[in-house]
Amino acid sequence: MKRTTTRKERKQRKRARRRAVKAKLLKRKNGGEERHGPSIHHILPWARGGRDGNNLVTLPRSIHEAWHHIFDLLTPLEAVVFIGIVFLSGQTFTMKDLAALRTFIMERGAERRKQESS
């Protein structure tokens, strides 16, 4: 007789796998900020589909928090584009302008990844 799993059991297994990956990454030494501990960062943010275990890096917690404060959900490549526009354009940006620029860059990045996967 074939045994079926419930949705709840599948979710629990998925969470357990995620916790195992996170624990494995946290075991890696990442120089600095011992008292604050390392933090896991998704290169392609989880909210944007970056659910692959190979999509993770370990960062000092303060760097991770600063990344999201400045770049929100941008990937590293998108952050380079953002920095280039902000610092090399010679324009003055408001916080609203910067938020709109981040959104624009994220949308373009999503379009590019979609084209690459086709």
Domain boundaries, the chain: 1-68, 74-118
Q: How many angstroms separate the CA atoms of 68 and 32, rounded?
A: 19
30: helix, strand or coil:
coil
- Token output for 76: 């590293």
Task: Give the tokens for residue 104.
Answer: 């624009």
Higher-pLDDT residue of 20 and 100 is: 100
C-alpha span between 96 and 81 (Å, rounded): 18
Q: How far apart are CA 112 and CA 107, in angstroms?
A: 9
pLDDT digit string (tens) for 35-91?
467 888 999 998 998 888 889 999 998 999 999 999 999 999 999 999 999 999 999
Contact 58, 38 (CB under 8 A): yes
